[in-house]
Amino acid sequence: MREEVQRRISDGCPGRLYRRSPIPMMGTAKKGVAVTEQMPPAVGRRQLLGISISAAGGIAISACGSSPPKPSPGQPGAPSAEEVPVTPPEDLMREHGVLKRVLLIYREGIRRLQTGDQDPTQAVNSGAGIIRSFIEDYHEHLEEQYVFPKLEQAGKLTDITTVLRTQHQRGRVLTDRVLAATTGAAALDQPTRQALVQNMLAFIRMYEPHEAREDTVVFPALRDVVPAKEFRDLAETFEDEEHRRFGQAGFQGVVDKVADIEKSLDIYDLSQFTPT
């Protein structure tokens, strides 16, 4: 605790430390004459370290008038002793960000297939592979095992979760078709290209409203039906499952793979989507 108090005081006043010896202080000026007084020897550094952390923090701040008061615990910007965990809704929503980027890969694949531009099948296949492993096998597994049951047990949004489960199943069928059409080195004939385009369009059309409804309705409702401790435990469960499936890199490793696909299609540069 002594080190913590000393650190907080010295951090508040860079280059100024409390010393064991008495410190000269300016007293009250009377009739234009500055009066100098000494801190009593009994109030030294050792006694100062016995003061509570909150009191010591106040001393440090008052000694540096230019330093703004630090926020209290629980307020925005307050320091924490440990890293703030990613909450379950945040975790699920950032995974939807991966899905959105793969949908963009699908759109570019559709454009190239329709215009006869450079063959996009390898990139589309890689994107579909991420949808299968990361979205369908992992993300939707979390939803169906942990999110939807909590809402259904509470009698909330049961009509929506029923539709979402059905769409998960339909999405798997479409992903099977995209993977089958883009696996192998053979060039796609015209009927196969048209079918691939239709399957990707159907997937995009379903998943854009699907993920939007989850982000704005389903995931926020999860907090209302799950107690605080269980909510925190759920975050740990999600993180453990993420690293079990995708190794130490976890989510970031998947994002890096998506970025590589985007670069192969020349759609990684965000500025190209800015209207002129």
Backbone angles phi, psi at 38, to 5 degrees: -105, 145
Task: Give the number of other CB atoms < 10 A from CB of residue 194.
Answer: 13
Q: How many angstroms separate the Cα of 156 from the Cα of each of 57, 91, 186, 214, 219?
A: 47, 21, 49, 13, 12
Dihedral of CA 237/240/243/244: which sign? negative
pLDDT in tens, 108-159: 999 999 999 999 999 999 999 999 999 999 999 999 999 999 999 999 999 9
CB-count exposure of residue 200 (10 Å: 0-12, 13-18, 19+): buried
Residue 85: predicted pLDDT: 72
User: Is 20's pLDDT higher than 50?
Assistant: no
Token pair for 258: 């998506």
Q: At what angle do helices 158-182 and 121-130 cross, to 10 degrees?
A: 140
pLDDT in tens, 92-106: 999 999 999 999 999
pLDDT in tens, 249-275: 999 999 999 999 999 999 999 999 999
Residue 83: predicted pLDDT: 66
Give the whole-angstrom CA distance, residue 248 versus residue 67.
40
Q: How many angstroms separate the Cα of 169 from the Cα of each of 84, 124, 174, 196?
A: 34, 20, 9, 18
Q: How many angstroms separate the Cα of 93 from the Cα of each of 87, 144, 163?
A: 10, 15, 19
Listed residue (209, 204, 218) closest to 196, CA to CA: 204
Q: Vertex 252, ends 249 and 254: CA angle to 5°?
A: 90
Q: Topology of 88-270 in CATH? A: Four Helix Bundle (Hemerythrin (Met), subunit A) (1.20.120)
Q: How many angstroms separate the Cα of 259 from the Cα of each of 185, 250, 262, 270?
A: 23, 15, 5, 11
Taking the whole predicted model, whether its pTM rises above 0.75 is answered as no
Residues of the chain with CATH 1.20.120.520: 88-270
Residue 186: predicted pLDDT: 78
User: Is 42's pLDDT higher than 50?
Assistant: no
Q: Vertex 204, ends 186 and 197: CA angle to 5°?
A: 30
Token pair for 232: 């925190």
